[in-house]
Structure 1
Amino acid sequence: MTIARHFITTAALVLALANSDFALAKPEAETTERNKQFIAQAFQQWTAGGGTFFQDVLSPDVVWTIKGTSPAAGTYRGRDVFIKQAVAPFAARLSSFVKPTVNDIWADGNDVVVYWDGAGVAADGAPYNNSFVWIFRMQDLRATEVIAFLDLTQYDAVINRIPLDKQGYTQGSNQQHP
């Protein structure tokens, strides 16, 4: 094989590999953008007053992990378990739902990271403000895994300050929350 032919063969091989990498990168970029847009839209709907964020975003068998050392920290297996054990007890102690303000969203393939601030009002009238980082692992536009970082002292303060009766009502309230 002549040097010229070797050079042409090598160049053709490099070009073929480059084209195959490009072909693989395009679907990855599409996946990244699709997942990022899905999560961004879900947060926009939540901000606008939509109350179905967790049902819309989480797969039924999601594994949600809250990092930290609070009693609320840990791993929740399943959307219904997470809502029942972490979301509902907190929401029952609020007079207004937490409204998110997204600061930034990053995505890479099936991973989406959202940095956001939340503001609401507790049932006792005190403001609730917190900052969050949620890391979503997506599959078919549903989160199958989520890792959540937040100031759990703020969450725990609401839980500990506002008792619920046996039916899940805040004291002096006639409404049961989800």
Structure 2
Amino acid sequence: MRIESLRNVRAAALCGALLLGALAPGMAHADADVETRNKQAVSQAFDRWAAGGNSFFRDILTPDVLWTIKGSGPSAGVYRGVDAFVAEAVQPFAARLSEPVRPVSKQVWADGEHVIIQWDGTGMARDGQPYRNSYAWIFRMRDGKAYEVSAYLDLPAYDDVLQRIPDPA
């Protein structure tokens, strides 16, 4: 290789390294901004729910969400779309409660496009028995809404309400 060509290759490599070095901090800053916005969107939706709101799932989920309840048992499974999830998992459970589940504590973390929320919730079943559960939900976010969710909870406590209390419908 001629010396002139070698100098051009070195100059191009140096320019590339300088450009990458100049862009990388901005990329990290952009990721931090997305994490902050996603964490804030989830936290605010939970705060509205805890204060008595009833539109949490429609507020924070995309219409085509893929919601997976992890574990084994009758309620574990995959729900495709917010309408299916609400109709098949949320409403049958909520119908068996005299007081809806409300978050009473939460911890929220964000990492890239993921928001992780660990929360405790309480409610009251129609038979007067309290319902308490602990949850960990992992949201994969896009444009401030979750489009994939992995949900972890004490499924026997959840399933107990579904089996113990008759469906009022």
Could you tell me which residue of structure 2 aligns to residue 39 of structure 1? 42
Amino acid at match of 1:107: A
TM-score by length of 2: 0.89
Give 1:140 deviation, angstroms.
1.1
Could you tell me which residue of structure 2 aligns to residue 159 of structure 1? 162
Could you tell me which residue of structure 1 aligns to residue 132 of structure 2? 129
What is the CA–CA distance in structure 2 between the aligned matches of 1:112 and 1:127, rounded to whole Å?
Answer: 29
Q: Which runs of 5+ in 2 are unaligned?
A: none
Match of 2:32 among 29, 33, 50: 29
Match of 1:58 among 39, 58, 61: 61
Verify the 8 A CA contact 1:102 1:114 in the aligned structure 2. Answer: no
Could you tell me which residue of structure 1 aligns to residue 85 of structure 2? 82
What is the CA–CA distance in structure 2 between the aligned matches of 1:46 and 1:18, rounded to whole Å?
Answer: 43
Could you tell me which residue of structure 2 aligns to residue 118 of structure 1? 121
What is the CA–CA distance in structure 2 between the aligned matches of 1:11 and 1:61, rounded to whole Å?
Answer: 45
Give 1:15 deviation, angstroms.
4.1
Verify the 8 A CA contact 1:119 1:127 in the aligned structure 2. Answer: yes
Q: Deviations over 1:132-160 (max 9, x none)?
A: 00000111111111000000000011011
Q: Which runs of 5+ in 1 are unaligned?
A: 169-178
Could you tell me which residue of structure 2 aligns to residue 95 of structure 1? 98
Match of 2:76 among 69, 73, 78: 73
What is the CA–CA distance in structure 1 between the aligned matches of 2:19 and 2:147, rounded to whole Å?
Answer: 35
Q: Deviations over 1:77-102 (max 9, x none)?
A: 01010001100010000010111033
What is the CA–CA distance in structure 1 between the aligned matches of 2:104 and 2:112, rounded to whole Å?
Answer: 23
SS of structure 2 residue aligned to 1:76: strand
Give 1:11 deviation, angstroms.
7.1
What is the CA–CA distance in structure 1 between the aligned matches of 2:164 and 2:77, rounded to whole Å?
Answer: 21
What is the CA–CA distance in structure 1 between the aligned matches of 2:77 and 2:138, rounded to whole Å?
Answer: 15
Q: Please, which moves more after superposition, 150-159 or 99-108?
A: 99-108
Amino acid at match of 2:102: K
TM-score by length of 1: 0.85
CA RMSD between the two structures: 1.9
What is the CA–CA distance in structure 1 between the aligned matches of 2:98 and 2:111, rounded to whole Å?
Answer: 36
What is the CA–CA distance in structure 1 between the aligned matches of 2:61 and 2:17, rounded to whole Å?
Answer: 42
SS of structure 1 residue aligned to 2:75: coil
Amino acid at match of 2:27: L
Verify the 8 A CA contact 1:43 1:102 in the aligned structure 2. Answer: no
Structure 1 residues 101 and 20, CA gap change in structure 2 (3 angstroms): same
What's the % identity of the aligned pairs? 51
